[in-house]
Amino acid sequence: MKKIICIALAVTALLLAGTSPSHAFRGGHGGHGGHGGVGVWIGPGWGPGWWGPYYPFSPYYPYYTEPPIVIQQQPDTYIQQTPQTEQPSYWYFCREPEGYYPYVKKCPKGWLKVVPPETPEDGEEE
């Protein structure tokens, strides 16, 4: 019987020794190391402080972040223009004084519309 009691006390001592690191939050005293000590526990441990060690840090205030702004752009639409018919260009000729606009600035008798001569394209010169 004595042997069973000794084994039970040894197991209890080992179990209690295993619980002491769980109560040593960062070494105690603000994380600057702790002081040794021996505690005696009797009962299931539901007394004051059974809920665990105090959390030493103050809670932070939540920071509200706005959701990102997403703008979905519409695809570019291309509207094809109908080809414009080329307006015939005219030269303006004056008989007195004889010459073409813009070389002659004033024409007292009126300007004559003249269709310009066809200019040969590059490579078609005679």
Whose structure tokens read 């665990």? 52
Ranges of the chain whose pLDDT falls below 50: 28, 126
Task: Assess if residue 46 is contained within a domain.
Answer: no
d(CA 70, CA 73): 9
Distance of CA 16 to the CA centre of its chain: 53
Query: What's the confidence (pLDDT) of residue 63?
Result: 80
pLDDT at 55: 66
Classify residue 109: in a domain, yes or no: yes
What local confidence, expressed as pLDDT, does residue 43 receive?
A: 63
Answer yes or no: is 95 within a domain.
Answer: yes
Cα atoms in the 13 Å half-sphere on the side-chain side of 88: 9
User: Is position 103 within any domain?
Assistant: yes
Contact 91, 116 (CB under 8 A): yes
Residue 47 lies in a domain: no
Paired tokens of 4? 């069973």
pTM across the whole model? 0.28
pLDDT in tens, 16-27: 776 665 555 555
- Identify the pLDDT of residue 4: 94
Distance of CA 97 to the CA centre of its chain: 73
